[in-house]
Each structure stands twice: as C-alpha cells, then as structure tokens.
Structure 1
C-alpha cells in the first residue's frame, strides 16, 4: 500500500518574490485503525484457550478532502485571481494521480465571494468571482487548462504620484468559499495596502546616477498594513543587430537590491535598503552576452518597491530553506477549515533615465566595455 500525496503548487504573480515559486505538500493525516480478530477454540473436556491475532494497518480509511487556497490581492490591478485545489489521502501512486485532473480539481464550481469590510466589520461591497482557465505546461502535474477564480474590482483611488490603486488600507478584504456539495465554508481575510512614498532616490528628479564608487540608499517610510519590502531596479535596454538594423529588441535586466521588514504594520517607520553603485555594472557584465554584431542602447531604469502584508511575510519566512540540521519547518496557513494563503501586496514603480556619467561608464567601464553600449538615441524616449 502506498501513501498517496497530492501536491498543490501555486505560482504567485508577485514581484515581491521575483517569480518566487510556492510549493505546498498537502497531506491529510488519518487515524490508524487496528482490527484485532480473536479466534476461540473450545476443548470438550479441558478448557484450554489460545488467542490468535491478525493485525491490519489501514492508513487511508475513508477519503477526506482538504481545500487548498492561494490568492494574493494585488493593489496595482483591478483583476484578482484565486487558485483553489483539493487534496486527499488515498491508495495508489502519487505521481500517477498528479497527472489526473480530477485528483486535484473540483468537478464542480465553488461559490467564491470577496467582501470589502469597513472598520466595524460590515460589508460595504461584495464581489462574486467568475472562472477563467489558464494553460499550464506539464511536469509533476497534468498539462492543460487550470481553472482560476477571477474577481474584478470596481473601486479605485489615485495616489499623489498619479498611480491607480485598487485596494484601500481603510478596508479589510474577506474571502469566502462555499462548497455547494458539502456545504463546507472556507474563509480568510487580508488587509488593503494602498500608499507609498519614495524619499531616496528623489522621485522629483528624472535622472539617476551609478557613477561613483560607493554605497547608496533607497529610503522610504513603512506604510499601513505593510510588513515586508522588496527593492528592485529594472534596467531596460535595446539590442540592434547588424544583420537587421531596423529591428529593435527591447530587453530588461532585473537587479534585486534587497529586502527589509518593518517592526510593526502601523506605518511611519524609517526604512533603508543599501546597495553598491558598482553592482549595477557588475551584474550587466555577468549577465549580458559579449557580441561584436550587436549595438546596445540604454533605456529607462525603474525602481520597484513591493510591499507585502504580514501573513505573506510569515508564509515566506516559514518556507525559506533551513540552514540548520533540523529540517522540519513549522507550517503556516490562514485559511479557515483549509490550507493555504490569502494575503495582499502593493508595488510602487518610478521611472528614471541614466545620467551622462553613468552612460559613459556603461560604455567604457571595466565590467561593461565589451557589451557595445552607446549613448541614448537622440529622440529618446521612443514612447
């Protein structure tokens, strides 16, 4: 008899983790039932008794399903996705069952709603999810279209920097899932994150410099309901090949500067993430291919700060690889009656161009002088 494990894997569409891949092993524990069968023998004259025991170990018993839920509300988009799967313990080979859609997918639609709660816990708006199917390539799990529950938000605000935000830190967002067959109810709540102010680099300026050999800081204040902060630079550049000079290929290079967490989620704490200027050039030199037949033009550089709520931070923390000899890690779930994660995030982006000194060093510096970078196009920006 083989213990059957259905693994539920959810890819979060989350810059906070930079295509960070979440893998959850969903196992349903069953009580082991032991049957003891007593055989009695009777002698006609003398009473001589003996006991013969036979033991069976049934680790499966009756099948019991567990709901697996993953959803990260993204304040920067109106469309939210919730992934819902099921897991159960049963007989058979787990790898074989993982290729069967019915092993992890519900054969019927669930009732999924998102309530917007005010500070008194009252619902001021309710959204009803519909379903969409997104293609998933093969692997441990089956190849094909996977169902997602989709929620389209209507309410938004505009920040001081002109960004559109679809969540509000004044509200709590309650996810409710009802199984229409069993009547089981699964719930979770996530706070809204809706504001961010960058202090350094100064967002008033349009140019940024990595010219000096030294350390610089990204500085900001923590925000209400935010716990973890990921800072990235995303550099856009354009490749033009000699074989096709009229074809411009836009590419990007991501540089994760660092992470930090606030003490509380009340907001207002001074936060700093430091980096070395030279790392900008070093990473380009390590990642870009040296080619004589290509000319590279610099483009925009974006700073990206992604804020995650406290439950998202906790989930990532407990799923980090262990560096100790004790490999067993605590589990974390905030889904009532189920397993998984429901949380929220917000991503701030600010666009810069490189200053003249940085472009010159990009062309002639020790790390990048063989990458064939040139000056900005005279008519840059192109769009």
Structure 2
C-alpha cells in the first residue's frame, strides 16, 4: 500500500536532498581564490534534486540556488533567502512513446523541525507532485522548472526503476511455517549459526542494488507497549548484465551482533520489562544508472588527488533527477502475518551470548518453557 508519509519522513527526505545539494552549493562558495573579485558579476545556478519512486504516492523535488555574498558565505548559508529563488513554477510530465500523457504541477511545501546544520534549519521549502494514477514504469518523467518568471528554464528527465522479484528459493526460506533460521541453537551454550542467502532478479532500469534488513520488535514497559524497528545494510551490488540474478549471503551471527550493537546502550533500559520479536523485513533498494553514477562520483576519495568531477543530468543547472525504488518482503502469507524467527533462532535471541541481556522472549513459541513470554 502506498501512503503519504509523516513529517518525520519528509524531514528525512529533505535531509537527503540537502545532503546532495550541499556539495554543489559549497563548491560555489569555495571556488573563489584570493585573485578573484568576489563582488564581480555572479551568475546564480539552479541546484535541483528529485527522485521518481514508484513505491511512494507523493514525489518530492528540492530546488535551490547557488549564492555569493560580499562577506563570509558560510554565514549567508544560515539565511533561508540565500538559497531560494524569488519564484519557482514547474511541472512533471509523464511521457509515453514521445507523447505527454499527463502533467503534474509542482506544489510548495514548507517543512519544519529540520535537524541543525550549516544551512537554515527553522524551515525549508520543498516541492511535491502527486501522480494521481501512480508511477508508470513504462513512462519517462520530465521535470520542467520556470525560475523567476522565465529568467531560467531548467529541465531533466528520467526513466523509472521497476520492482525486483525475490527468487522462489529465498522466499521458501523466509515465508515457511518454521520461520527464518539464523541459528540452530537448541540449548544454552550451543550457539550454532546459519547463513541465509538472499536472492533476487533484475529490476527494469536498475543499476545499483542495496540490501537492507529490518527487525521489528515490541518494547514493553510497566505502562506501555511500543513497536520499535532497527535496520542494517547487508551490502550492495552493481548490476553488470540485464539477465543475471543477484545473491547476497548473510551470516546469522551478524544478526545477533547487530541487535546487540543497536540496543545495548538503550537509555530507557531500566524501564523496559521485556522485548518481543515481532518480524523481519527484507528490502532491496534499487538506483538507476544516473543515481549510481552520481553516488560513484561522490564516494570518498581514496587517492592523493582530492579533485573530482561533478556529475549532473540537469539541463541549465546542477543536481540530479533520477529514479529509485524499494521492494519489500515482509509478509509470509496472504493474511499479512509477519516473517518471524525460527524456534532455535528465537532461543539464540533469548539466551545467546550477544543478546542474552536484552530481555527478549518469544510470542510465537509461548509454550516453550525457556523462551516463551510469560
């Protein structure tokens, strides 16, 4: 189901877009040498970041401008108007076989409670558009931006990343009635761990694939029960062919080490009575070739040369308009029941060396005398 995300989600996405944009805007700040008159005529450039994501019902675009002040440009960064155009109008066109089928207007949205940083954090303007009929994975989407009533016209386009198919061999391992087997720990002190091979097929227009595991659990205190989630990235792979499937191995011991690492210093630990494993989610996050190239160009430099090229697919501006998509496997049957841990995997969670102090018990095996929740 596609749902409109909360303000927290919008803030997270805005942080991503700002993170992309900071390098470009700061490049404009840092590019002035001591031999350049900073008061000379300066041409403002549009900095645009947006993604077309089929899993989302609302799509977002961040539109800013480079700036140059008379003094310390880092100080100007804290002034919201420094990075905003006076007026911005735009559309996103859905194009099929060279013909515009639908056109969606860009709407303004002010997002508050942004995390502190170099740039203005009281509020930030983003733009959004709503594809009323959903994202068509056979279409091309063209972004059209009119800045300051025709002063600048900025365009970009992207094809759409499709969903992946989890291979049946993997699905059989995680949706079976026995649960996911990360461990074969039948008794205290055994600690036998199993590998899990995650297998999936190629996504249309996909280039880079990232695998993420989400662990959902209940946290019980004397007064409340709260659903919590923690996640970890299992790895990423770049597609080299359009017809080769992918495989990512994950060692079960790493799962318990991950849970321990994320929960061992919980500031609320003294108030927690018990934790109850709820379910697992497997996410495949796919980037198109443009986003892959952008990420590749902007990876940390490992050599002695720090200078790197700037990649953009924005016409008459800088930035990126690309597609990414996420396929999620989180249910084991048509009733929507979550993917759960096997009996021995839950035993390892309850009394294994990594997580034995985290107060886990099992609701899926309540009659087990050792691990069942009482």
What TM-score results when the alignment is normalised by the length of structure 1? Answer: 0.78
SS at the partner of 1:76? Answer: coil
Deviation at 1:286, TM superposition (A): 2.0
Matched, 1:121 2:89: no
For residues 142-163 of structure 1, the C-alpha deviation after alignment (integer angstroms, 9 at most, x for no partner) is 232211111011113xxxxxxx
Which residue of 127, 148, 155 maps to 1:187? Answer: 155
8 Å Cα contact 1:72/1:343 also seen in 2: yes
Deviation at 1:347, TM superposition (A): 0.7
For residues 38-97 of structure 1, the C-alpha deviation after alignment (integer angstroms, 9 at most, x for no partner) is xxxxxxxxxxxxxxxxxx953441131100001012211111111100113342111221
Partner of 2:53: 74
Alignment of 1:366-377 (within 5 A): 366-376=353-363
Write the distance in 2 (CA, Å) between the matches of 1:197 and 1:97. Answer: 47
Q: 1:59 to 1:94 in 2, by over 3 A?
A: closer
Write the distance in 2 (CA, Å) between the matches of 1:345 and 1:178. Answer: 25
Partner of 1:209: 181
What TM-score results when the alignment is normalised by the length of structure 2? Answer: 0.80
8 Å Cα contact 2:92/2:143 also seen in 1: yes
Q: 1:57 to 1:373 in 2, by over 3 A?
A: closer
CA RMSD of superposed structures (Å): 2.8
8 Å Cα contact 1:63/1:90 also seen in 2: no
8 Å Cα contact 1:12/1:72 also seen in 2: no
Partner of 1:25: 24
Residue-pair matches, total: 327
Unpaired segments ≥5 residues, structure 1: 1-9, 33-55, 157-166
Which is strand-richer, 1 or 2? Answer: 1
Deviation at 1:193, TM superposition (A): 2.0
Q: 1:227 to 1:138 in 2, by over 3 A?
A: same
Which is helix-richer, 1 or 2? Answer: 2
Write the distance in 2 (CA, Å) between the matches of 1:342 and 1:12. Answer: 18
SS at the partner of 1:70? Answer: strand
Matched, 1:154 2:132: yes
Tell me which moved more, 195-204 or 71-80: 195-204
Which residue of 136, 142, 159 maps to 2:120? Answer: 142
Q: 1:28 to 1:98 in 2, by over 3 A?
A: closer
Q: 1:58 to 1:226 in 2, by over 3 A?
A: same
Write the distance in 1 (CA, Å) between the matches of 2:18 and 2:117. Answer: 18
Write the distance in 2 (CA, Å) between the matches of 1:315 and 1:184. Answer: 24
Tell me which moved more, 77-86 or 188-197: 188-197
Write the distance in 2 (CA, Å) between the matches of 1:281 and 1:362. Answer: 7
Q: 1:273 to 1:295 in 2, by over 3 A?
A: same
Which residue of 85, 89, 105 maps to 1:111? Answer: 89
Write the distance in 2 (CA, Å) between the matches of 1:64 and 1:147. Answer: 22
Write the distance in 2 (CA, Å) between the matches of 1:277 and 1:128. Answer: 47
SS at the partner of 2:230? Answer: strand
Q: 1:12 to 1:311 in 2, by over 3 A?
A: farther
8 Å Cα contact 2:85/2:147 also seen in 1: no
Greater Cα radius of gyration, structure 1 or 2: 1
Deviation at 1:311, TM superposition (A): 0.7
Partner of 1:297: 276
8 Å Cα contact 1:226/1:309 also seen in 2: yes
Write the distance in 2 (CA, Å) between the matches of 1:344 and 1:359. Answer: 38
For residues 200-221 of structure 1, the C-alpha deviation after alignment (integer angstroms, 9 at most, x for no partner) is 5216536322115243321111
Write the distance in 2 (CA, Å) between the matches of 1:99 and 1:370. Answer: 45
Which residue of 214, 229, 253 maps to 1:234? Answer: 214
Write the distance in 2 (CA, Å) between the matches of 1:378 and 1:367. Answer: 21
Deviation at 1:280, TM superposition (A): 0.4
Partner of 1:328: 307
Write the distance in 2 (CA, Å) between the matches of 1:20 and 1:74. Answer: 18
